[in-house]
Structure 1
Amino acid sequence: MKKLGFIKEGDTMNPEFYIDKLKKLLNEDRFKHSLGVMETAEKLAIKYNADVEKAKVAGLLHDCAKNLSDEELISLANKYNIQLDDVLLRSPSLLHGPVGGYLIGDCFGIHDEEIKRAIMLHTTGDKDMTLLDKIIFLADYIEPNRNFEGVEDLRKKSLSDIDEAVIIALDQTINYVIKKHQLLYVKTVIARNDMIIKENSTKIQI
C-alpha cells in the first residue's frame, strides 16, 4: 500500500503542509485538478457567503484518496467501517470520496465534520446536501481544467443559482454513467430527486 504518512493526533497543520503532503499522494494531473477545485470552491464560497477556509481546504483535499488502488480503497473502507454494497464493490473508485473523508483526519489532522462530509459526498452527492457539500460537488465538476460541452454555461449558472447548477451537474453525471452502461450509485439519484423536490417546494411557496 502507498505510504500515506499518518500523523499523530494533535499535530499542528497549515496550508503549506497540506499542499506539500498532497503532492506526495497524487499524480501531477490530479494535483493540478485539486488546485483548480480549491480555486473554484473559494470563488463559490465567497459568492454564496459560505466558510471560505473550509471550502478551500475541502476543495484542495477532496481527491486525497483518488490515486489509491481498488484494493487499497476497499481495505481502507473496511478499516473505517464504511458500508460496502454491491455497487461499491464493483465500482471501488466511488470509495475515494468516503475514504478521503476519513484520510483527512489521519493524514492531515483535519477533524471538521463539515469538511469531512463535503469530501465524502463530492462525487455521488446525497440527500440534504449542505451549502459546502454543493460547493465542493460543483467545484469538482467545473474547475478550470475541466473541458466538456456545456461547461462554460454551467460555470455561469453556478454563479447565479447554485442549486440549479448542482441539479444540471447531477443530470449530466447520471446520463454519462447510463451511456457508459456503468452502475449508477443510488445516492446520486437520491441527491437529484431531493434537490428537485426542494426546488419545486420553494416555487410552490412563492
Structure 2
Amino acid sequence: MTVTTTEAWNIVRRHLPEKRFKHTVGVRDTAIQLAQHYQVDEKKAELAAIVHDLCKYFNIDEMKQGLATVGEHHWATCGSELLHAPYCAIYVEKELGIKDNDVLQAIRSHTTGRAAMSPLEQVVFVADYIEPNRSFLGVDEARKYATVSLDAACLFSLTNTIQYLLSKKSPIHPYTVEAYNYYTLKGEQKG
C-alpha cells in the first residue's frame, strides 16, 4: 500500500533540514497550482512534489551503489548533485510503496529533465525550478513562462541551467541536453 500525503509529509520532514523542507513546501504548492492550470492530476503532482527531494541528503556512496545495482551508473558521471532524483524514485517505490509510474518518473527527472516529458513530469520539473523560495537570475522570467506553456517553461529552465553549468565548466547530464534539444525542436515546429 502506498503512503498518504500526510504520511509522506511526516517522512520528508524527518529527513530534510528546515531550508530544504521550506523548498519542498514551495515545490508542492507550485506543483498544485501548475497542475490545476494545466489540468494535470493534482494528487499525483502533490505526491511527487512532496517526496522529490526525500533522498537529497542520503549517503552519496549508498545512492551510487543503489543506482549501479539497477545498471544506472551514468548518474554519477556528472557529479553527486543529481543522484538523489533517480535514487529517490527507487527508494520511494521500495520503502514507501509508491508504485505509480507517472509519479516515479516525475521524481526521477526533476533535476535533469528529459526529452518528451509527460505533463506531470513537466509540472514537477518546473515547480522545482520556480518555487517561491528560489531567487536566481532568470527565475522571474521562468515564472512568467510557466503561466503560458509548460513546454516554454521547460525550455527556458533547461536553457538557463545549461548556461549556468557551462559558466561553471560543470558537466551536463545527457538527459538535460536531450531535453533541451527536444523542446527547442518542438518549439521550432510550432513556430
TM-score band, normalised by shorter chain: over 0.9
8 Å CA contact 1:97–1:119 kept in 2: the answer is yes
CA distance in 2, matches of 1:144, 1:198: 28
Equivalent of 1:49, from 39, 42, 54? 39
The normalised TM-score by structure 1 is 0.88
Equivalent of 2:93, from 102, 105, 117? 105
CA 1:177 to 1:108, structure 2 compared with 1: closer, same or farther past 3 Å?
A: same
Where does 1:85-104 land on structure 2 (aligned, <5 Å)?
85=74, 88-89=76-77, 91-104=79-92
CA distance in 2, matches of 1:168, 1:180: 19
Give the 3-state SS of the residue equivalent to 1:159 in structure 2: helix
Residue 26 of structure 2 corresponds to residue 26 of structure 1: no
The normalised TM-score by structure 2 is 0.94
Residue 177 of structure 2 corresponds to residue 181 of structure 1: no
Alignment partner, residue 72 of structure 2? 83
Q: CA deviation at 1:13?
A: 2.5
Alignment partner, residue 63 of structure 1? 53
- The gaps in structure 2 that reach 5 residues or longer are none
Q: CA deviation at 1:89?
A: 3.8
8 Å CA contact 2:138–2:160 kept in 1: the answer is no
Equivalent of 2:115, from 111, 127, 140? 127
CA 1:107 to 1:32, structure 2 compared with 1: closer, same or farther past 3 Å?
A: farther
Q: Number of residues paired by the alignment?
A: 191
8 Å CA contact 1:42–1:56 kept in 2: the answer is yes
Measured against aligned partners, the alpha-carbon deviations of 1:3-47 in whole angstroms (never above 9, x if no partner) come to xxxxxxx3x522211111111121211111111101000000000
Q: CA deviation at 1:90?
A: 5.2
CA 1:22 to 1:64, structure 2 compared with 1: closer, same or farther past 3 Å?
A: same
CA distance in 1, matches of 2:72, 2:3: 30
Residue 104 of structure 2 corresponds to residue 144 of structure 1: no
CA distance in 2, matches of 1:62, 1:113: 14
- The gaps in structure 1 that reach 5 residues or longer are 1-9
Q: Which has the higher helix share?
A: 2
Cα RMSD (Å)? 1.4
8 Å CA contact 1:82–1:98 kept in 2: the answer is no
